Structure 1
Amino acid sequence: MIIKEQEMKKDTQQNMRGGKGSIELKFLVAPEKMPHGRMIAQITIPVGASIGEHEHVNETEYYIITEGEGTVRDNGTDYPVKAGEVVMTPNGSTHSIENTGSATLKMIAVIILD
């Protein structure tokens, strides 16, 4: 199966999960086509914007950082992240991400059901 870019839903969210600014999402795979997952999306975070802290229950989320740099809060501790790194947030854990760099941060977010 090939999913064409024109089939991918795009969305802009303000203050996503209590974060700052405007976040752009491009859903690479529709949720109904993911029997073992909830989301695969390209997420674009402008400088100074963020996704607020949130918990994952009965699922694991991966952030695959493809461009830029930022700060991830992982269970209450802040860590710098940059392109080429992966953040894993398993069941029962919390995280957030903020673009603290000087350029746009892009990542692929994948949520797999446990």
Structure 2
Amino acid sequence: MPIKTLKQHFFTILLVIEILYLIVALMIPPLPGWKMFSRVEWVQQITLTDDHGHEVSLAGYLPKTHYDFDESTARGTAEFICRKHPEIANWNLKIEGASYELQASDCTARKK
């Protein structure tokens, strides 16, 4: 068998294996695949505090397989936490220099 044909078969087999892996990776969240490019892990740079100064973890309210975490997701999660805890009057959300305030009356994140 000529070397050119062996190379073609090798790369064809490699391509098929890669495509099969990516299909499996789409179905099994912990496996790296195309989803890994949307993974943004900057939850540590976001702080949500109640009116007593106690910090609440946003990551604790998200599914374990949640990868995309941007500013709008942080605001939405903070609004959800505010609605879930109506006994707390005010919340403060800080995202890389931007500050938002949430009040228990409507739980909408408003820029300070």
The alignment's TM-score, normalised by the length of structure 2, stands at 0.27
Larger RCO: Structure 1 or Structure 2 (Cα < 8 Å, ≥ 6 residues apart)? 1
The alignment's TM-score, normalised by the length of structure 1, stands at 0.26
Structure whose residues are more often helix by fraction:
2
